[in-house]
Amino acid sequence: MWRKAIAVVTGVLCLTVLGAAAPSRSPVADAAMQKDRAAVQALLRQAADVNSAQGDGMTALHWAAMNDDPAMAQMLLYAGADVNAVTRLVGFTPLDLAARNGAADVVRVLLEGGADPKRADLHGTTALMFAAASGNVAAVTALLDAGAAVNAHESFRHETALMFAAAHGRADVVKLLLAHGADWKATTTVFDWAKLPKTDPRVAGAFFPGTRPEETAAGKGTVGAGGGAPATRERPAKDGPAPAGKARAANEPRRATYPDLVGTQGGLTALLFAARDGHLDTMTALVDAGADVNQADPGDDTTPLLIAIINGHFDAAEYLLAHGANPNTAARNGAAPLYAVVNTQWHDKSEYPFPFTHEQQKTTYLQLMTDLLARGANPNARLKEKVWWTNYNLDQSGIDEAGATPFWRAAYADDVEAMKLLVAHGADPTIPTYKPAGRPRGVDRDGIAAPKTDPSGLPPVPVGGPDIPPIVAAAGAGYGHSFTANHHRYAPTGMLAAVKYLVEVLHADVNAHDADGNTALHQAAARGDNAMVLYLVSKGANVRAVNRAGQTVADLANGPYQRIPPYPETMALLQKLGAQVEHKCVSC
């Protein structure tokens, strides 16, 4: 009974509250929002306030602009509507909203009613920028004729109307803006990650696996922790690896973190925007107007050709090549177009949305590689540092590809066709990566401590010295010491075909090893690849090889890393062939 009484009382209270609701303070705006022209007209005849605003500052004139209703806009202006009224948060005027929607007729009505074509919102964005993004040529023309500033830029990234149009692929608007003096040389603002406040969410906690807090300078944590600038990034000079910088306790410089590797952001031109999204007609409009196809991003030297390839727009890359793009201009990290083609074709699986645009292009990756090589692309150009856009900031590969060539990247992808093409154009199939700074792979991880003496019997390798040779990469580098298997992609012909090509055609050394002493046989064992184990041993691979962590090839088949399962059959095979099991299973 008492529950029923409460329900009745509650119902009465609800009805009372509903019945006592205050009348709207913005009836004209409410009617305009509902596109009810008759109701708006009736309210105005009753002397309702034409400028009464809703809670967010939207007036009836704002809604007329939003709804592309020039007749209502004209009626409201006649009734005294404030043509330059602004919303509360961003400061949008009716003209901004009309331009944003490409409502050219409303734009003209508002301009005739006194709207300011040069006014910017609180972010510095003008109506011309909004109209340029919409692609409506008539709206852009009306604004330009009214005196809108063609080269004004918004306040955060300094994007201009030309950039807005280029980024959205509005080729006709691009032509119009260029005809009115738009500057194709202008670039967006460049900011440096290292100069961002350490509490900035873009920096805090951003680091690659292998750059955990204990590995950073003086053990102070990641770049996002504490104050002061991060330690200097270690990277090779133009002609080779850089010498070790400020030493850690272990006499090695720290590895570069994700913000270090990204370095700078911004610096895009209109052509870079268009190339990034593969807008061929927009690119054509810019190039026909004289835009420099080799004007690089001042932040990291990325060119239109490189940004098109990174984003999978191989057709756009072909256009740029045909119009004079330099195939050898590399970004600050040393990534040149030829390397980027292979990397894009075989980019890692990722929780981030890698572009798959390259799969929808008329130009295949092998055709683009062929054309780059025909125009003089250097097949032996080496990366200067790890490429941040290979895995973004969730790298689980355990691989630092600094020093890699296009051939190395093709070998890592087990792409025999690409390797053959590169060799035919002078690629050196023996060039390894550089040894990175920081803790060696497979050492002091998950209970595997570095032995006091190096049991491998190999000479020490300094930071910047040779690390992973192509044959070790092809055999599955990283699978035994990281979560590479979660992300790594390779050619459907498989790893064994690539290793056979390297050994039988290019005469690669089956006992070549990386800086940690891991051979191709170690990598095959780590994946439980019995066929490759037998093949390598038949070609002279040392089944008793031990890496610097003291791990035998059989140890790599024995679950040496968390969540990597042991392969009992591979262990049994290797023991039968003479290998020993020295380390306990870590993942068991």
Domains along the sequence of the chain with CATH? 27-149 (1.25.40.20), 396-588 (1.25.40.20)
- The amino acid occupying position 339 is Y
pLDDT digits (tens, 9 = 90+) for 209-239: 333 322 322 222 222 222 222 223 333 333 3
Closest by CA position to 320, among listed 351, 286, 344: 286
Q: Which tokens go with 156?
A: 């955060």
Provide, for the chain, the percentages of residues in helix, strand and coil under a 3-state DSSP scheme, each rounded to the nearest 5: 40, 5, 55
For the chain, what's the residue count? Answer: 588
Under a CB-based contact definition with an 8 Å cutoff, are residues 340 and 388 in contact?
no
Cα separations in angstroms, 488 against 59, 344, 405: 54, 13, 18
Phi, psi of 466, deg, nearest 5: -70, 140
Q: Which tokens go with 584?
A: 């306990």
Measured distance CA(522)–CA(552) in Å, rounded:
8
- The amino acid occupying position 353 is P
Tens place of pLDDT per residue across the chain (588 aa): 334 433 433 343 343 344 445 678 999 999 999 999 999 999 999 999 999 999 999 999 999 999 999 999 999 999 999 999 999 999 999 999 999 999 999 999 999 999 999 999 999 999 999 999 999 999 999 999 999 999 999 998 999 999 999 999 999 999 999 999 999 999 999 988 767 666 665 555 444 333 332 232 222 222 222 222 222 333 333 333 443 333 333 444 556 677 777 888 889 999 999 999 999 999 999 999 999 999 999 989 999 999 999 999 999 999 999 999 999 999 999 999 999 999 999 988 876 666 678 888 999 999 999 999 999 999 999 999 988 888 766 777 888 999 999 999 999 999 999 999 999 999 999 999 999 886 544 444 344 555 668 899 899 999 999 999 999 999 999 999 888 888 899 999 999 999 999 999 999 999 999 999 999 999 999 999 999 999 999 999 999 999 999 999 999 999 998 888 899 999 999 999 999 998 888 888
Cα-Cα-Cα-Cα dihedral of 15, 20, 21, 22, to 10°?
A: 180
Please give the model's pTM, rounded to 2 decimal places: 0.85
Strand partners, 191: 265
